[in-house]
Amino acid sequence: MNKKDEKRNQQSNIKSFGELEIKDDFMFGVIMRNPRYCKPFLETILGISISNIEYPKTQKAIDITANAKSVRLDVYVEDENNTTYNIEMQVGINKNLPKRSRYYQGMIDLNILEKGEDYKNLKRSYVIFICTFDLFGKGRHIYTFENRCLQDYEIGLGDETTKIVLNTKGTMDDVSPKMKRLLDYIDGQKASDEFTRELETAVNDVKENEKRGLEYMTLEMRYRELFEQGIEQGIEQMQTALRMLKEGKLSVEEISLYSGLAVEQVLKMKNEL
């Protein structure tokens, strides 16, 4: 398959507005902006009761310094107990999720704490990834991570950070029936209880909203533009790296620096010559 065919196939995977499901990033972000859905969503996942949630910003952008990698969070909310929740929907398989969760956690903490402020003011936080694939391959619906002592698992670090990876395709009997129905609905199955039917109604209401449709079309057009620019830029980077490799005058690290490709990519190209 040539580059043009590959690009055409990838572009064809972009859904129309009417095809969107709750697991699609745009739809998920819109639905979760409403506390009527976001609050019970969190309560179902965490098995807790939340009185109230607030939205500092939805799709919150965090950019600490000009040279730092900025992040845009799908959903970022706080509750009445000064706890923060970051919820991310992940449809495409991404092996970098663990380090992404680490980076998100660090950026959230840096954003919370003002310069010179005491560390005790850091809030309890949850970083939650909802995946339509099993990142760890163990069949669990939920993987919860906290910092604990390797020599004695009963000793927790007490930093009040929790990372949760949900798997809509889990096979184990490890979550409540309500949570299982929610994950099944996200995975594309029919709504089967009161809450999932409410979510289904909310999704259909969004699809009938002309303003949301125009918003999505604008984002889709921008995505296509960026996608095409990225493809062209990627081809140019690979051509540059290949030319330098054939000349044989520069190291892999130098070629990486000049071409903009990762060292691993350049090394792979070198081994395939």
Measure the CA–CA gap between 79 and 60, rounded to whole angstroms: 16
pLDDT at 201: 97
Report pLDDT for 166.
98
Please, are residues 52 and 80 in contact by the beta-carbon 8 Å criterion? yes
Can you give the pLDDT at residue 6? 46
Position 13 scores a pLDDT of 60
Give the per-residue pLDDT at 131.
Answer: 96
Q: DSSP characters for 113-174?
A: SPTT--GGGPPPEEEEEEESS-SSSS--SEEEE--B-SS-TT-B----EEEEEEETT--SS-
- Return per-residue pLDDT of the chain as tens, 273 residues: 444 444 444 444 678 899 999 999 889 999 999 999 999 999 999 999 999 999 875 455 555 444 455 556 789 999 999 899 999 999 887 778 999 999 889 888 888 877 567 888 899 999 999 999 999 999 999 999 999 999 999 999 999 999 999 999 999 999 999 999 999 999 999 999 999 999 999 999 999 999 999 988 887 776 666 566 555 566 677 777 877 887 788 888 888 877 777 777 788 878 776
Q: Mapping DSSP to helix (H, G, I), strand (E, B) and coil, where does residue 192 land?
A: coil
